[in-house]
Amino acid sequence: MNPEQRTSDGTQLRERIDRYLDDSGTGGAKPRVVPLTGDASDRKYFRIIPADGPSIVLALHAGPIEFASRRRRGSTGRATAGDCRFRR
């Protein structure tokens, strides 16, 4: 899609994707970004197709994931059996 045709929301999404690809070194030179069908969550999915190499799927969350806010007081940050919930 031509950058002039993007909405402001679309431009912000693409900037976030480009920033991630640059920071991670995942995209290579000028990868193609294809939107995928979403699910019931607030995530948006994209297939990243680099010029050289296999494609990947990127899940873009609506906001930042704040792991620190989910820790209990005194937590070391390491996952323990007490941090997980299991159903039988």
In a domain, 19, yes or no: yes
Contact 59, 45 (CB under 8 A): yes
In a domain, 9, yes or no: yes
Q: Domain limits at 39?
A: 3-64
Q: How confident is the model at residue 27 (pLDDT cuts 50, 70, 90)?
A: low
In a domain, 77, yes or no: no
In a domain, 69, yes or no: no
Bridge partners of 46? 35, 58
> What size, in residues, is the chain?
88
Bridge partners of 48? 33, 56
pLDDT at 34: 94
Q: How many domains does the chain have?
A: 1
Highest mean pLDDT among 26-35, 47-56, 64-73, 79-88: 47-56
In a domain, 15, yes or no: yes
Q: In the block, which residue shows the tokens 């994931």?
A: 65
Number of H helices, E strands in the chain: 1, 3
Element (H, E) at 47: strand 44-49
Would the pLDDT of 82 be above 60? no
In a domain, 13, yes or no: yes
**Whole-prediction pTM:** 0.62
